[in-house]
A and B are shown apart, each in its own frame.
Chain A
Amino acid sequence: MKSRSVLMGVLLALAIGGVVELGQRLEERVAAYQHEEEAFWLPSAATLRRWSFGFEGLLADLYWLRAVQYYGRRVFRPGARFEPLDALLELVTTLDPHFLAAYRFGAIFLALPPPQGAGRPDRALALLDRGIAANPGEWRLLLDKGFILLWDVRDYAKAAEVFLHMSRHPRAPTWTRDLAAAVYARAGRREIARRIWRDRLEYGESEQVRENARYQLLCLQAEEELERLHELVRAFQRERGRWPASWQELILAGKLKHPPQDPLGYPYRLDSTTGAVRLSAQSPLILPRL
């Protein structure tokens, strides 16, 4: 009887030791699967997460459904306001920092101007920044950020930077470089755009890609030429007090050597009533490209 009690005591001690040791080890291993970024979020959301009893995913779903329903009920209504949307989305993404749909669709809900959305591109960008920090492997969040900067903030230079950054992401498809180049061109940063297009022309993965790069380089060239011609026309107007009637007048004035042509050989058009310089209607080049 005594020996059995001793045996049971030893077994109990060993089992408790094992539970403690394995509990510690398991805790370390499991940490990689779970998210501990509480310090990054608002305290209320962090508290909810802490006391979600392991149902943070389910709670995230429920709050996401609520956010979608909330948005759906108000969108397109005149005077609609979306104040709690930001907080709801923060709650969802705090509960599940890998909930990509919440970042992507949520950013659209926040960025769109009223009555389609909250008209808060700043909050949309903040949401996406948190998503990017929590999901470094997701290049699509950078794509969304770039588009919000492009369409809602209208900061082409920043959008171009984001797109270029995205295009260097190991998982990003190669067309993202084309997008970056196009936005750089739109932002007036033609040198960077040209470098990217030249790179695509040389190393593009298909003939179609290389052909597009060649076309875009011609467009860039045409854009620069148009700007230069417009400057000449304006200089003529400053000197004579009227717009030139034709390219011939500029040639006679010594500002041009011959009637200007776009990179594909089509003559540029000059509007003598407004001084505007345009591509020929027959030219296959289309500006602006974005």
Chain B
Amino acid sequence: MWAHFSGVRRIAAVALASSRELLRERILYVLVGFALLLIGTALLLGELSVGQERRIVLDVGLGAIRVLGIAMAIVLGVRLLEREIERRAIYILLTKPVRRWEVLLGKLIGGALLLFASVAAMTGGLLLTLAAAGRPWREELPLLLPVVFLFWLQSLMAMAIALLFSTFSTSTLSTLSALGLVLIGHASREFLQWAEVVRSPLLALLCRAFYYALPNMQNLNFTAAAVHGREITLSIIGMASAYVVLYLVVVLILAAIAFHGREFR
């Protein structure tokens, strides 16, 4: 039966199975619940500000979506392979006529779908909070949707990095490494600035290499633009999406190389 599956169908099957499996992860619900709670508390904080309810709700809400979205992405990204290995299902999976890179891609797509649903749920919570604060939430949609879409792309990068680490490392180390990379990715511009001030050309080259190797998370963060009512142009969304897709390709190839060399006994 498997032999008749085309590559796309095989990847789709893995993606679907991964989504279903990840749906059983309790941590997912805990994080989404926590995010919704945090978004809800923005109402209280908004009350304490001087006429700044909208910006407080948006800053806290978008902050919660971003932080917990990335946390979810890292945890689930590590769990994508870990579950298979823990339950020894990986042995069965690898005996099927499915390539290893197809397994990785399918799992990433499955995780991405689930992340998409989680980000959508959290965005729904934010819109409800805005409505509860008496804000015209429909008017905020054109500002918010591109921002949360870019957050989703951010979390995809985080998930891919976690998946990459999990192909050759333990789950704890993978989680910590991915978290570290993502955090540094928020300040990757610092490397570019250091590259301009260090005297050694080698160090400058190294700084530049770090800058390009790290996921540039800050270029996908438009919270301030949304808060100040500035719309994000389609060209930026397109460029950011292309950047993330290419970054994912690089990470997936590296993950595929690492996963290909791994032996399961």
Contacts and interface: CB of A to CB of B under 8 A. Distances in A.
A26 B239 contact: yes
A33 B230 contact: yes
Interface residues of B, number: 47
A281 interface: no
For the complex, would chain A's binding face be called helix, strand, loop or mixed by DSSP majority?
helix
B140 interface: no
For the complex, would chain B's binding face be called helix, strand, loop or mixed by DSSP majority?
helix
A14 B45 CA distance: 47
Interface size classification for chain A? 35 or more
Contacts of B240: 26
B253 A12 contact: yes
A61 B243 contact: no
Contacts of A99: 55
Interface string B206-243: 00000110001111011111011010100110011011
B246 to A, nearest CB: 4
Given A29-B239, A33-B222, A53-B183, A101 B52 contact: yes
A262 to B, nearest CB: 44
B239 A8 contact: no
A54 B49 contact: no
A189 to B, nearest CB: 35
Interface in A95-111: 96, 98-99, 101, 105
Given A26-B216, A26-B240, A57-B227, 20 more contacts: A11-B249, A12-B250, A20-B212, A27-B189, A29-B239, A33-B224, A33-B230, A34-B218, A54-B223, A57-B55, A57-B59, A57-B63, A57-B224, A60-B59, A61-B49, A61-B60, A65-B56, A69-B48, A99-B55, A101-B50
A103 B51 CA distance: 13
A53 B67 CA distance: 11
B247 interface: yes
Contacts of B83: none
Contacts of A173: none
A15 interface: yes
B21 interface: no
Given A30-B236, A33-B232, A61-B56, A15 B243 contact: no
A18 B242 contact: yes
A23 B49 contact: no
B239 A58 contact: no
Interface in A200-232: none
10 contacts: A15-B253, A20-B212, A22-B242, A23-B219, A30-B236, A33-B222, A33-B224, A54-B217, A58-B223, A105-B50
